[in-house]
Structure 1
């Protein structure tokens, strides 16, 4: 509807408008995690700038290319630069800590998503959803052909009595979080997305899959995220194990003690 309005307005006024007007009750911000995305970051920020966002926070995580310089060309963006790699998903925690809005949209710098496909996540969070997830179920193969990461996502949701979510997860972007959830939760938890999702469900926050965006087709292939048993997949499986451990702890069920210390886990995250 917003897109149709903009087209009609542009036609009648004779000027070209590019923004997407959204009737949000609250304020909105976006957090973009970037790691050497010089080829896509302009397009990513261009789509976000079409939305009525109070803040766009870009966390540059160990970038060695031109990403920082390109981000600085966007005057509306707050750039947070860390020269050394922080570890996978740590940028989400940093961005959430800095965001000052009622809704925070999370994106990655490697995939430009049209503003029209980002708007539904803002609408859902503005309407009372605390965790508005990307609905990827329709893009997945049958169970027999699914990889270990997808099965871990489904198992976690089933363990939370939320089989209705299928394999939908905070691991995937885009997704949006309510400011309420961010304020009432330790931001560092967002560095382990499955655990954050488990906590959201266990503590009674509203978690829904709200819109489907295909992030598989255009997802950037990297050395660490391709091939069976790759390092990113191993990390995500470990994150889900940590989430299951949180469920067991809260339900008063003992589990085998992990041989990894928190220091070991931190080193594993930084390795990818």
Structure 2
């Protein structure tokens, strides 16, 4: 297993683009990891049970044993990246997608490091929608109709923002309230080459821009939220996550309309964890700026 370690300066693999024909298929999985020592092993075992060619755990800001647990998994398919500093919410997706794209992946799964539910079959469905149905983004419906009646007021507020965005970009009839912000999802190589990688760090924006590129977006599977296996969040964290997603949906709508981006929804600005996103580290990574830590 090859490990790539990142500091404030970067030590990075130089990866050559693969050449491949129309029948070539390569599945990569990107796994954001922040203090997931109790859950990440099972998540990676689930991904290893799939026909995945590359699994990229993006360890960032972890102060627990997540890194050492991942490094103990002796599989050549696992390529952990480790940042000392937290990258912020969703930035690890863009980092991992960059590696997957450079390695030649034709499909990329995004699965959070704490999702240790029995979801292997669902992940297979997502990939099948890309390779078998020609989809460019296959989403998970985490709130099927029968579950929406029991939502908390906070969850309903988030779902409302997601629904309004999907309706505005012409997708409400086909994907309902599904969003790349919630649950595993898969994207095609075509999407990664059509939408700027940095936009993956604001998932609803990547959704809106994919629509503008006339890419095919569908719901690929259904996993009720509780079946994801993610731990319950404390009220403060839940509130900040909600504010982040609502703000992301607002920003996505402005981006879709080619307007100056704002994070205002119903006259309220929603930031949540958005200010903690480390765009500087993502930019340095994507531009290949690095220095050898030993130099």
Give the alignment's TM-score, normalised by structure 1.
0.80
SS at match of 2:208: helix
Report the CA distance between 1:137 and its aligned residue.
3.8
* C-alpha distance in structure 2 between counterparts of 1:156 and 1:183, whole Å: 23
Residues 1:268 and 1:81: Cα distance change in structure 2 (over 3 Å): closer
1:25-174 equivalences under 5 Å are 26-76=25-75, 77-99=78-100, 100=103, 101-112=105-116, 113-127=118-132, 128-138=134-144, 140-142=147-149, 147-164=156-173, 165-174=175-184
Give 1:205's aligned residue. 215
Give 1:175's aligned residue. 185
Tell whether the 8 Å contact from 2:251 to 2:262 is kept in structure 1 after alignment: no
Give 2:17's aligned residue. none
240-249 or 208-217: bigger deviation: 208-217
Residues 1:120 and 1:85: Cα distance change in structure 2 (over 3 Å): same
Tell whether the 8 Å contact from 1:224 to 1:232 is kept in structure 2 after alignment: no
Q: 1:109-138 CA distances to partner (integer Å, 9 max, x unpaired)?
A: 111143222100111111210000002241
Q: 1:160-219 CA distances to partner (integer Å, 9 max, x unpaired)?
A: 111121110010121000011112221110000001001111210000001112233532
Q: Which residue of 177, 182, 188 corresponds with 2:198?
A: 188
SS at match of 2:182: coil
SS at match of 1:176: strand
Report the CA distance between 1:257 and its aligned residue.
9.6
* C-alpha distance in structure 2 between counterparts of 1:224 and 1:207, whole Å: 32
SS at match of 1:210: strand
* C-alpha distance in structure 2 between counterparts of 1:32 and 1:257, whole Å: 26
Runs of 5+ consecutive residues of structure 1 not aligned to the other structure? 1-23, 259-263
1:204-243 equivalences under 5 Å are 204-217=214-227, 218-223=229-234, 226=237, 230-243=239-252
Tell whether the 8 Å contact from 1:37 to 1:67 is kept in structure 2 after alignment: yes
Give the alignment's TM-score, normalised by structure 2.
0.74
Report the CA distance between 1:247 and its aligned residue.
2.1
* C-alpha distance in structure 2 between counterparts of 1:87 and 1:185, whole Å: 20
Higher relative CO (Cα under 8 Å, sequence separation at least 6) belongs to 2
SS at match of 1:38: coil
SS at match of 1:57: strand
SS at match of 2:114: coil
SS at match of 1:47: helix
* C-alpha distance in structure 1 between counterparts of 2:69 and 2:152, whole Å: 43
Report the CA distance between 1:154 and its aligned residue.
0.4
Report the CA distance between 1:235 and its aligned residue.
1.2
Q: 1:212-269 CA distances to partner (integer Å, 9 max, x unpaired)?
A: 1223353212347655xx111111111111101112226xxx89897xxxxx996344
Tell whether the 8 Å contact from 1:190 to 1:196 is kept in structure 2 after alignment: yes
* C-alpha distance in structure 2 between counterparts of 1:43 and 1:111, whole Å: 8
SS at match of 1:65: coil
